[in-house]
Structure 1
Amino acid sequence: MCASKMVSVFKTNVQCPEKAVAVVAGLSTEYPAFRINFDLEDCDNILRIEGIGIQINRIISSMENQGCFCEELPY
């Protein structure tokens, strides 16, 4: 049986593109199998992560370690 991909969406306080690039680079190093991107044009400065086995608490902790606010948005 194959595990299915999941998509998690987070509200963040990341506002500038340079910070978003740095955050994506940090998360990509820690989670190389995930597809990670930001939508800074959204009012919630969305962080979107796609992959198998996403651990929400670890993502939030990783974001906090980079000095960012992050909370999962409900579906």
Structure 2
Amino acid sequence: MSVADIKKHLYKAIEEIDDEAFLQAVYTIISSKMGPGATYELSADQLQILEDRREKYLKGEGKSYTWDEVKDRIRKKDGL
């Protein structure tokens, strides 16, 4: 069975399983393979900061940069 086939089978199987303990065990195994930070959750304060910044951005009040501007700033700062 190919990796793609295994993934498809797992997706279908997990969709059908309602056993919380089993799903928690699978989640723990998968999380351990995803690396640090993959399952990180933001605190309520962090989420509020993001929401505030998003609202400012949508109102045109926040400053944003293009990817090229960011790269240029880093190059100038680090002398690259």
- What is the TM-score with the length of structure 1 in the denominator? 0.28
Higher RCO, Cα 8 Å, sep 6+: 1
Higher helix share: 2
Higher strand share: 1
- What is the TM-score with the length of structure 2 in the denominator? 0.26
Higher-Rg member (1/2): 2
